[in-house]
Structure 1
């Protein structure tokens, strides 16, 4: 799929950032982020195919640029650059790349070539690109000859987690569509979780897609276990079970495995406006399956469920005092002690379900598909699972990165295939119960 660059420019805030806001200090939770950027792509097919396809798409790009400039005034740190322990809010602006794709978007969506998805992003996220001076926000608008548009973003994970990314995109979409709904970001996370001297950085990673049939899966998972597991708990446990089996088949032994889930803390904060807090408001829950533990689905669902419910409202108080450091050091010490006994694998799961990404409308309709990061070819990205809603809202897409040998085994796992389809077309809902 040939791509031709039309333009590349900086989109600056429509109004300058006041001098007293020129430095944004990272919060305590921002230091726990191991990935450089939060990547995402939105796909908007052209449903009115005519002779003015490209012209119409170019006009939409102008709307995106103007509204992005206005939105960056409110989300001012996103127009800055990284500077060690802070973000320099210098209004350098978002990097905005406009390209022409010689192909049809509907043809691509019919059977996506996952190896091409990274080309729709403004850059290929790597751990070398989060250095001092890097832009916080990068955008790539891909215009297809049919008039379809794919909007790709890579925004620094140092200031945005999945929920904060949605808040920014919702604000941008409202501005572009001239909606009466106004998004007011709360850029106060360093006050809620002030940083001290803690520097904890873990490395995890993503790649292949599978859509899970959760209704039948929940029935199987609830037997002799949690009676009403959430779909995230069930899907996580199933993938955990199947990755354990893949690892055992590949290496001949069952390793001790940790499943770490990134949880959104905004709902646990007392303020009603916490949903619009900008920053990384996450806590990691951890479940362990030792090398001699049973790996039935219901037992793993119980482990996932128990680890998640332990993250309660008390954490908010812990994170603002010395107890946070004690709790984190205990967790890391426990992981180290178990890992020292024998071979150990660590998996990081993050859920974007029910966040609303499928509703991002810049004024020409909701996206037909939303995709995350494809880890293929990216150094350092492994053992990462991102869960996202299918467009119909009834299923879950799991973007998974594993060791290549384990991934080949996983894709043929009969238990996984009983509930899931591997790489289905996002234009079809036939795979969802």
Structure 2
């Protein structure tokens, strides 16, 4: 990014109606403690050309946000501690900014390490969470009139599915029929109460801490189109009925296994994890499709082969691991044996020296590309590039704008990434860091 993002205004957007006294304290559920990161950053890019001036768009975003915060009242509060939010109606933190280049100029060759400039706050907190805003927004206006809407909402209160629910409701609040907007469901705490206990957070910190290793990380985007995904799915066994997310995850797992072998000279044990949405794995799940919170669990699979694993074998492993996250598992998470179950699960996820690891999460089908505030759908939905001296091998899978492909945001150690980019099958099936302006124009 050749130019610097200029901050124009900072303010707080308060809910249009006060929060009722009985809702002033919002408690986190047990599963909210699974999330080690304070935020799950998201940036939506919108082209200009609809005739509405940018000042009008920004004002509409602020007024509609005020309305929707009445329903998502916890997003207008501040973090009280690791167990709850003080729903004090102080508001959401809102930043207006501008950038004196066109959106096309930026999207022609986006610098992933610069995307954080479209976000309203630091993604990694440098101090305690107490007193921080639950939700933070930034609207950046490009020279051409295009917009970037950056969101940093506490991962303690919204997982990807819940973030999609919030975006859908926010877009609906822009319309005249806003009284019909989606009202969130707050059943997560009653389903998975925390009992004012931080034992899961403490166990989670040990597990996540074992996954970070010293190194210099880098983020790259790998684009799979529909035909590439079909080729991968065709390699699954007939009994697997593999999904596109499972197929791409397993393929990337194999690619990282190969990269590790090329780097170290031999096959090391490898572990993959995948975050799994529990909403369809809870009895009477139709009640919880609009649930706010983290209704997630971690599926995991291992590969201890001393030889190059076949892709269909890894697909079966990924498929099998995800299928184990079922109604029985959610019942155990809600039952008296949950502590022993969690302890047993996390022991399997704690990484020993000499073991490789890949963490996957999917944004596919969460509706981010459907976020139309009245001037069209986003041209690109992005994460951001990560750099630093600690590495956790991490993959975010997201839809392409057409809905047929998958964009894989992969963060690895620089040396591992250099080997990964030389994988001939990966190179043949993907485009690396393509322009979002041409996401459908790739091999």
Normalising by structure 2, we get a TM-score of 0.90
Mapped to 1, the partners of 2:295 and 2:360 lie a distance apart of 15
CA distance in 1, matches of 2:326, 2:76: 34
Residue 278 of structure 1 pairs with residue 292 of structure 2: yes
The aligned residue for residue 296 of structure 1 is 310
Mapping 1:115-194, distance limit 5 Å: 115-128=113-126, 131-179=129-177, 181-194=180-193
The 1:279–1:224 alpha-carbon spacing in structure 2 relative to 1, beyond 3 Å, is closer
Q: 1:383 to 1:129 in 2, by over 3 A?
A: farther
Output the CA distance in 2 between the equivalents of 1:367 and 1:224.
Answer: 33
Q: Distance in 2 between matches of 1:350 and 1:179?
A: 34
Contact 1:160 1:278 in 2 (8 A): yes
Choose the corresponding residue for 2:412, options 399, 402, 409: 402
- The runs of 5 or more residues in structure 2 that have no matched partner are 213-217
Distance 1:220 1:387 in 2: 15
Pairing partner for 1:427 from 416, 432, 437: 437
Counterpart of 2:21 (choices 13, 19, 26) is: 19
Instruction: Indicate the residue corresponding to 2:367 in structure 1.
Output: 356
Partner residue in 1 for 2:60: 63
Q: Which runs of 5+ in 1 are unaligned?
A: none
2:221 equivalent in structure 1: 209
1:162 CA displacement: 0.3
Q: 1:42 to 1:172 in 2, by over 3 A?
A: same
Which one of the candidate residues 235, 238, 248 is aligned to 2:251?
238
Residue pair 1:263, 1:285 contacting (<8 A) in 2 also: yes
**1:267 paired residue among 258, 265, 280:** 280
The answer to whether the 8 Å contact 2:39/2:153 transfers is: yes
Please give the per-residue CA displacement for 1:396-427, whole angstroms capped at 9, x wherever unaligned.
00111111111122122211111111011112
2:396 to 374, 380, 386: 386
The Cα shift of 1:92 comes to 1.4
Q: Which shows bigger deviation, 12-21 or 216-225?
A: 216-225
Tell which deviates more after alignment, 170-179 or 304-313.
170-179
Deviations, residues 156-199 of structure 1 (Å, cap 9, x unaligned)? 00101000011111111111233554111012211111114332
Distance 1:29 1:417 in 2: 38
Are 2:258 and 2:308, in contact at CA under 8 Å, matched by a contact in 1?
no
What is the total number of aligned residue pairs between the two structures? 424
1:396 and 1:380 mapped to 2: Cα distance? 27
- What per-residue deviation string (whole Å, max 9, x for no partner) do you get for residues 181-230 of structure 1? 41110122111111143323225698321111353444445446355311
TM-score, with length taken from structure 1: 0.92
The separation in 2 between residues aligned to 1:281 and 1:360, in whole angstroms, is 22
